[in-house]
Amino acid sequence: MKTPTLEERAADLEELSNGIVAPGKWATVTFVVPDKLEKIREQINDFFELVNLALEIVNLTLEFAKAFLTAYLNPLDLIIQAILDEIRALAEDIQQLGIYITHDLALFNDWPPLDLEGGFSAYERRMVGRLTDRGDPTRPNVSSRFSVFSLFLYLSVDPTDVYRLYELVMTLVGLFTGGKTKPLRFNLPVPVIRDVFYGNDAISIFNPRTIKDALTDFDGLPPNRFKVAWQVNPGANYPFNPVSKAAPDGFIVTVSTRPEGLGAYFSRAKNNAPAQDGKKGKAQPREYGKIMDTARGHVVLHGGTALMKFPANDLGFNQAIEAGHWKDGAAAIYGQFDPASPEVIPFEMLAKSGASQELGEAFDGKGSDYYIQRAFRVSATGTAFEWASGTFTFALGGDDLPQKISVAKLADGSMEVTPQGRASTYYVRVAAVPKDADPKLDLLDAANNRWLLGQPWVVPAQRIGGFSEAHPITITGDNSRAFLQLLKTSIKLLLLTRADLPHIDTAEGSVIEHAKMHRTVVQGFVLKECGLESSRPLLERMFPDGYRAWVEKTDPTSQVFMRELEEIASLWANRMFDAIGSNPELESMVYEATPALRETKLWEVVKPLDQGGNIQSVSLGDLIPALPNLGENLLTSSGRGIQSMASIAYTTVEGGLSHTLTLQDYLEGEPVPGFIGLARNPWSIGLAEDVVQQLRWRSDVWTGRKPHFGEQTSKERGDPFGPSGPVTRTETKAETDKLIAGMVPGMQHLFKHFIREDGTLLVPQEEATAIEILTGSGETYGSADRSPVFWSVTSGMSDFGDVVLVDGHDWIAPRAMIYYARTLLAEYEGGVLMREASFVLTMASAAVSRPKGDGEWIAIRAFDAFPELEYFFDALADWLEAVANAIKSVVDALVGYIEFVQAQIVRLQQLLRMINAFIQSFLNLRVQIPRLSALGLLSSGTDGVVADLMNAEEKPYDSQLAFGAGVALVIPFAPTFLVDLFMLLFPGDPDKTRVVGVPATISREDAPAGDEAPSDEPDVL
């Protein structure tokens, strides 16, 4: 007979199962097999699992017998044949029975399964409906002339036990259909993880913070406590109650070092190829494939050993490998994250030897015992449930998390796992589990799959709801915070230094040399690179609308810029940190390589500001935005100004700044005295536009362009200063007025002090030198004047002496400076700050700067991706050797014969192992039946069944709020074994009439007062 293909068999099964076990319909195995099924009746057995198993035995043993009986006829084989005949007879006997079965499994499809509400009366109504629906062609329609045995089984539960009800119906249906009913995926709600919070100790975890906050509000230790928060869909009928009456009993929380699940795969030996004369050795081909569950889904593990029962000694990967080859006849189950990758994860190596196989508990500190994955059980009532937000939470410690591993293939072919400590990122998932359900994937139960060549390797589906999407937990190391700070500092340096500007060498024409010699200024170009140019792509990502527009706009005060600088740097530092994850090794390396970024003092960097010029000609109030009135007082009134100035101003920047204050801390927002600041550009210090323009005359105040920016004075450009250069005296008032009117405001202010009573001007000789200096250079322009600057106002020595006489009072000469940040930062200590910042940005920005689709690393080692290839080469070598050595001698014939017998022995051993496995399966075939209500009827035809069902006494009583479901069978001509099976449900004293009428309820709600059914004791399991 032609062996059907898998596809044909699946199609036939589907066709047949639709007729047998369609939920809510009557499933039938008739006495007369329909024509369309006749052709496949002997190929498929979709009725009893036992029948199926028996026929597997038949098929396999027939194959065995064919091999043996033809070669070695002997009495033993004849006896074996007789036994096979008996097994086959039993199988055919069962197959030819007629049975009708219906059940409520389809009603579990929705969550909560409200269609099951209504208790027994609803169940009875459903069953009567199915028995009497004459429009249903699948209905048992047995004439009243025939006796019919029918069996009704019913169970009700309170709403919290719905899953157990589902389990029972599945069990009962499986008992009568041989497990061929395609299980419905029980729709437990799928949790949605809302967030993961971080803390450092058991207390702080209850005052949760995000990872950003945990690192920002640093209190000495990296976060080591994690709280996962999730929600479940309460269902359409319970929109306002997240813990609905049918809520899951608990949850499984899994954590993994990998974002993807661990796929389960198998490898099993196929039958030996027929021995060929002259060949030495045997090549045993193998099958590989995915492990499927009974819902026909690929089994993917998330929780490691605690979520599986695994026969390591029988199906472990390493035990199946010897000397680089699969052992003869060996089968193995193992994990792979990517089937195209050579990396095999032996399931037996997901935990240390001796580690508990049970689900973990919060803060048990046993994470180091487990590799890659771990799972925890969380009771829905035990976990912290926050009513206000409808959120479940579960906290666990860093010591609870499994270790990451490296996997290597050893010379003997086995896999070696080496723990690598804590991962930098973990991935947490949550799934709902029903009450008392064992959520472990049972890989023991289906060990017989090793013999089912050509068939999928199918295991029972896990009793667990769907997993949430993975949510990352960022693990921070000791240097994580420092790394984050360094990242922020480096980003700020990038923003302060105009790394966007191209070098003049990239321009064209003779302008290059002119610019380099400062004979001309080419706007938007620099004469020297700052060292952060490699981070321009990051600038482009940070400012889609252009960094230049951002840096050139005007702020009212320096504080606006400082706030924006912090916000942008924090945002991108966190974004980059998230992208690369916490990597303790990287963080440590960056930390060690950046001492200047961490330790450089602010005063050392801004020390050039002490070279600033006297600014008495400029309104001091304009240069000290924080003290707007003081400057005015200084220049216009007496007494108070001196005292005030003395109290706030410092002689030098070096003297005014704390010598312990680092540049990094300053950029982080550490306050400094108000005499110094950092602005987006000179127009953003807080000065009036005309004052800024006035300062263009003061190359000693507004400076710091060289050597980075191009710079040129108006004189260098050939522009005259005034009508005839510096003027120190006038002869008439009109001349004075004309001169003053032609001056910029600051200069006007200065010269007004020298106007005499008659309106003429006379600059005292002692001031003349200063005036010449002031006016001698003319206006100054740079190639990127709208760039960030440091500014300062001190009261130190001026070019005019320590004391200035104004209105008869002695004044300390104020000194100011506006200095480009790029020059200060890039020129400090030969550019060390830039080098270190560039290093940090290069290391951290790779992940966010990497263009999409630039390729990935592919790790391939020879032969690893094709485990069979090596085997094939060996077999090929054997064959070639055999051919070369083929000789027609008696010895060769004998050797060939011996090998043939050896092959038969191996085959026989395989058969024996297989039979032993089936024996164990039969011996272990036990069905756990809970307390449930049952009714067996002997009726006349289908109509009699309906009447007897309605008239049956002692009907179960339960609440209308209970959930109830069950199974019904209608069996014409009840066979002995089914009646015997029914009797097994009722062991006990045959002399005592059984008390009936007590509802089989696992834990029922209280019956209404005065309406409680008689019962000896609550039926609570």
Partner 1 sequence: MSEKLTPEEIMAKLKAVGLDPSKWAECEPGEIHPPFAQKQAELLTQMRDLLEEGLEEKRRKLATLQETLTRVKHGGGM
Task: List binders of partner 1 among 915-974 (CB under 8 A).
Answer: 915-916, 918-919, 922-923, 925-938, 948, 951-956, 973-974
According to the binding rule CB under 8 A, does residue 981 interact with partner 1?
Answer: yes
Instruction: Give the nearer residue to partner 1 in terms of CB position, either 642 or 917.
Output: 917
End-to-end CA distance of the chain: 51
Q: Contact at 8 Å (CB) between 534 and 838?
A: yes
How far, in Å, CA of 737 to CA of 776, rounded? 21
Tokens describing residue 635: 């220049």
Residues in 874-913 that interact with partner 1 by CB under 8 A: 890-891, 894-895, 897-898, 901-902, 904-905, 908-909, 911-912
Nearest distance, CB of residue 97 and partner 1, angstroms: 7
The amino acid at residue 642 is I
Instruction: Give the nearer residue to partner 1 in terms of CB position, either 545 or 953.
Output: 953
Instruction: Give the nearer residue to partner 1 in terms of CB position, either 263 or 999.
Output: 999
Nearest distance, CB of residue 460 and partner 1, angstroms: 18
Nearest distance, CB of residue 105 and partner 1, angstroms: 20
Instruction: Give the nearer residue to partner 1 in terms of CB position, either 299 or 974.
Output: 974
Nearest distance, CB of residue 941 and partner 1, angstroms: 13
Nearest distance, CB of residue 934 and partner 1, angstroms: 5
According to the binding rule CB under 8 A, does residue 676 interact with partner 1?
Answer: no
Residues in 128-157 that interact with partner 1 by CB under 8 A: 147, 149, 152, 154
Q: Contact at 8 Å (CB) between 583 and 844?
A: no
Tokens describing residue 577: 């940190």
Q: Which one, of 440, 576, 570, lies nearest residue 495 by Cα?
A: 570
Instruction: Give the nearer residue to partner 1 in terms of CB position, either 54 or 330.
Output: 54
Instruction: Give the nearer residue to partner 1 in terms of CB position, either 150 or 244.
Output: 150
Nearest distance, CB of residue 933 and partner 1, angstroms: 5
How far, in Å, CA of 798 to CA of 1005, rounded? 93
According to the binding rule CB under 8 A, does residue 93 interact with partner 1?
Answer: yes
Nearest distance, CB of residue 28 and partner 1, angstroms: 18
Q: Is 66 exposed, middle or buried (0-12, 13-18, 19+ CB in 10 A)?
A: exposed
Residues in 96-115 that interact with partner 1 by CB under 8 A: 96-97
Instruction: Give the nearer residue to partner 1 in terms of CB position, either 50 or 882.
Output: 50
Among 639, 671, 988, 1008, binds partner 1 (CB under 8 A): 988
As beta bridge partners, residue 163 has none
Nearest distance, CB of residue 77 and partner 1, angstroms: 7
Q: How far is CA 642 from CA 103, 796, 805, 815, in A?
A: 98, 13, 12, 14
DSSP one-letter code for 758 = T
- Mark residue 277 as left, alpha or beta (left: phi above 0; alpha: psi -120 to 50; beta: remaining): beta
Contact letters (x/-) for partner 1, 994-1013, by CB under 8 A? xxxxxxx-------------
Instruction: Give the nearer residue to partner 1 in terms of CB position, either 121 or 760.
Output: 121
Degrees (nearest 5) of the Cα angle 799, 800, 802?
Answer: 95
Nearest distance, CB of residue 161 and partner 1, angstroms: 14
Residues in 62-91 that interact with partner 1 by CB under 8 A: 68, 74, 76-77, 79-80, 83-84, 86-87, 90
Instruction: Give the nearer residue to partner 1 in terms of CB position, either 124 or 767.
Output: 124
How far, in Å, CA of 493 to CA of 835, rounded? 11
Among 510, 660, 724, 993, binds partner 1 (CB under 8 A): 993
Instruction: Give the nearer residue to partner 1 in terms of CB position, either 98 or 413.
Output: 98
Nearest distance, CB of residue 401 and partner 1, angstroms: 40
Among 20, 54, 331, 380, binds partner 1 (CB under 8 A): 54
Instruction: Give the nearer residue to partner 1 in terms of CB position, either 758 or 953.
Output: 953
Nearest distance, CB of residue 466 and partner 1, angstroms: 30
Using the rule CB under 8 A, give the single segment among 102-110, 378-386, 429-437, 986-994 that binds partner 1.
986-994
Q: Which one, of 691, 672, 673, 663, lies nearest residue 795 by Cα?
A: 673
Instruction: Map tokens 């005259």 to a residue.
Output: 720
Among 6, 399, 986, 1012, binds partner 1 (CB under 8 A): 986
Among 639, 990, 1008, 1014, binds partner 1 (CB under 8 A): 990
Q: Which one, of 3, 1, 31, 12, lies nearest residue 93 by Cα?
A: 31
Sign of the torsion formed by the C-alpha atoms of 614, 618, 620 and 623:
negative
Contact letters (x/-) for partner 1, 256-275, by CB under 8 A? --------------------
According to the binding rule CB under 8 A, does residue 571 interact with partner 1?
Answer: no
Instruction: Give the nearer residue to partner 1 in terms of CB position, either 456 or 997.
Output: 997
How far, in Å, CA of 579 to CA of 805, rounded? 61
CB-facing half-sphere around the CA of 848: CA atoms within 13 A: 24
β-strand 425-433 against 471-474: which pairing, if any? antiparallel
Instruction: Give the nearer residue to partner 1 in terms of CB position, either 48 or 467.
Output: 48
How far, in Å, CA of 275 to CA of 280, rounded? 9
Nearest distance, CB of residue 1012 and partner 1, angstroms: 16
Instruction: Give the nearer residue to partner 1 in terms of CB position, either 517 or 995.
Output: 995
Instruction: Give the nearer residue to partner 1 in terms of CB position, either 855 or 990.
Output: 990
Nearest distance, CB of residue 277 and partner 1, angstroms: 15
Contact letters (x/-) for partner 1, 600-639, by CB under 8 A? ----------------------------------------
How far, in Å, CA of 88 to CA of 94, rounded? 10
Instruction: Map tokens 């080098």 to a residue.
Output: 835
Nearest distance, CB of residue 280 and partner 1, angstroms: 15
Nearest distance, CB of residue 901 and partner 1, angstroms: 5
Among 94, 375, 562, 743, binds partner 1 (CB under 8 A): 94
Q: Which one, of 936, 958, 1011, lies nearest residue 147 by Cα?
A: 936
Q: How far is CA 328 from CA 51, 123, 269, 441, 758, in A?
A: 30, 54, 7, 27, 121
The H or E element that residue 884 is part of is: helix 867-884
Instruction: Give the nearer residue to partner 1 in terms of CB position, either 639 or 988.
Output: 988
Q: Torsions phi, psi of 379, nearest 5? A: -75, 135
SS3 (DSSP) at 462? coil
How much is the CA Rg of the chain, to the nearest whole Å? 44
Q: Which one, of 622, 640, 591, 752, lies nearest residue 694 by Cα?
A: 622
Nearest distance, CB of residue 101 and partner 1, angstroms: 16
Nearest distance, CB of residue 1000 and partner 1, angstroms: 5
Q: Which one, of 184, 155, 148, lies nearest residue 22 by Cα?
A: 184
The H or E element that residue 433 is part of is: strand 425-433
Instruction: Give the nearer residue to partner 1 in terms of CB position, either 651 or 940.
Output: 940
Nearest distance, CB of residue 139 and partner 1, angstroms: 22
- Could you tell me which residues come within 8 angstroms of residue 902 by beta carbon, excluding any fewer than 6 positions away? none
According to the binding rule CB under 8 A, does residue 177 interact with partner 1?
Answer: no
Q: Contact at 8 Å (CB) between 464 and 435?
A: no
Q: Contact at 8 Å (CB) between 650 and 656?
A: yes
Residues in the interface with partner 1 (CB under 8 A) total 94
SS3 (DSSP) at 251? strand
Using the rule CB under 8 A, give the single segment among 51-59, 205-213, 296-304, 763-771 that binds partner 1.
51-59
Instruction: Give the nearer residue to partner 1 in terms of CB position, either 171 or 237.
Output: 171
How far, in Å, CA of 323 to CA of 585, rounded? 37
Q: Which one, of 60, 157, 11, lies nearest residue 914 by Cα?
A: 60
Residues in 687-746 that interact with partner 1 by CB under 8 A: none
